[in-house]
A and B are shown apart, each in its own frame.
Chain A
Amino acid sequence: MRNPRIESGSGVIVQGITGRAGRMHTVRMRNFGTNIVAGVSPKPDVLEIGGVPVFATCREAVLATRANSSVLLVGAEQLLGAIEDAVHAGIKLIVTPTEGMPVHDALRARRLTQEAGVTWIGASTPGMAVPGVAKLGFLPEAALSAGPLGLMSKSGTLSYEAGYRLTLRGVGTSVWVGVGGDPVKGTYFSELVPFYASDSQTEALLIVGEIGGREEEDFAEALMAQRFSKPVFALIAGRSSPEGVTMGHAGALVHGSYGAYTSKKAALERAGVTVFGSLDEMTSVIARWHASRPHG
């Protein structure tokens, strides 16, 4: 079972720590409480960054620190190699915010991580967070607060907006996973249904989806197969987008009825999911649910 829950104090590696994004986000993640224990970089002259020791390979970093999670802040062209490095080093949770990973590379990385029993989140993900414990990636603090709502999203910005509005209304998240907007990726919504079903901190689930692919439809099927008993909410972007045009995310392409908003909404509603037409509706309904909980 894929498991994105990071335990408090659990060691995290940053691969690509000497790059611009690597340096900046190492600081931000640490400020949030993430226990960053090592960096990886091919640059031979850098031994540490801000007190974090830097190693040449993931295997050396794991041997020295026993870390089991890694955030990969490397370019799209190096991403497959960096994932292979992490898997071979024994890392069990890999988060890859990098945008622009070639689809055929993603096919290989998905096969590799599945065979090795590794939870891979990404690519093109804003990251994930367990508020109060750690964040791996870019999720902005204004949108993060601890609470009972599990959150999964394809889009970064739309989930920021959702998390921000919910935080203003006092609704926090348990485990937030940005699965990313790519068509081929490490973790789909449906693959985290068993995790959210068993996670005791999660009392309800919100997915922030968008047109394209069939991820929302698969998620609906997984809910039914799991007999998922917690409330599930969904916000789906792109209902007024034209056919045949990619709307930013490579995965957000509607062709014929495939990937269309109406198909997603219908499938989700059949599985008992509340599908919202607007951000405003989402915020008020979830805030109402939050306030009406027996111990809320």
Chain B
Amino acid sequence: MLDVKSVFLHGELNEDVFAEQPKGYEKKGSPNKVYKLKKALYGLKQAPRSWFSRIESYFVKEGFQKCHSEHTLFVKVSKEGKILIVSIYVDGLIFIGNDESMFEDFKNSMILEFDMSDLGRMRYFLGIEVLQRDDGIYICQRKYAMEVLRRFGMEESNYVHNPIVPGFRVCKDTDGVKVDVNFFKQMVGSLMYLTATQPDLMFVVSLVSRYMEQPTELHLQVLKRVLRYLKGTSDFGIFYKKGRSDDLVAYADSDYAGDLDDKKSTFGFFFL
């Protein structure tokens, strides 16, 4: 994992941008003059864009291929068939590959070109905690889960063992008492991100998100139950064991007419 220092200062400007002189630092004799910017600054509208086009052109020059469906992902394949994959998120770069010498070359050239600091192995990225061990890789979102609980005032609640009351069925509930839509959407959104490492929440969250348009107290109750479940499982994550076979296995299942309102079915699948 690499980190770029003062990231937006690397960008180059294509258009003319002027800045006023900072207060107290005006040049004597010409207080009405302005600066013409040669490079991007923080707070500029163009700054993120110019930073990205800068690093993008650098990657293209280095022989990386841009991924068509994910624009911040770059792949480099060497002559020997070794592979190096780089992903950018604003100022954070994570990379993975199967060749040590490619890592070193990449790191050194990046440190030369941009002002980078090497953070070593990835431990924390976008709210996901990563633990890399000899026997496998473990990912979880404990910190993020605690933040979500605190944000919605559920950190003192008692935990439950399953995310929904067994046998409970959710419907549109048109006559129910309405609740604040924004608050509801925030809750669902926060939980959506948690499903990145907790697939056991997936079903309930996607079920509740169907009623985001007109949430009622019934739906809020379901969400609160999910948060209480989360309270007990906030330190859960997925462990990927090393040294298993290469074979891909899929599980696919569907219920039948599970939705009470329009009788559509719900389907789910898994890859192990």
Do A and B originate from a single complex? no
Interface residues of B (CB under 8 A from A): none
